[in-house]
Amino acid sequence: MARGIDLWAAEIVIEERDKNSNIHLVCASPFSGYEKRWSEHDKTTYHSIMEQADLVKYISQHYYKACFQVRNEWMVDRVSRVIAAYNGTKGGTKNTIGYANRKEIFVENILD
């Protein structure tokens, strides 16, 4: 779970899950305490979402260099489709899309 689109999407999933019991919210965090440096508003939103999730996965109990990539791969390894908001810049979303493509997982970029 990251700030911005991840939190926004999770809130939508929670709303839709209330209407459809087949929808589940799975939250993957790179490490425990990932949100500690965020604003109070973002931390509150993050904690609320994590408490409402059907499953929470912490990749690690602490930060290490590859924890974000491992988190992204963990997510891709468990899905049949990736929905991304990718604007063409380098970073985690690009790496996740690349990994999904190598695994032959369909990627839908909502910014295309």
pLDDT in tens, the chain (112 residues): 888 899 999 999 999 999 999 999 999 999 999 999 999 999 999 999 999 999 999 999 999 999 999 999 999 999 999 999 999 999 999 999 999 999 999 999 999 8
Domain borders along the chain are 1-61
CA 109, CA 112: separation in Å to the nearest integer?
A: 6
Q: What is the pTM of this model?
A: 0.90
- Helices marked H in 1-112 — which ranges? 5-17, 40-52, 67-76, 92-102
Answer whether 55's CB lies under 8 Å from 82's CB: no
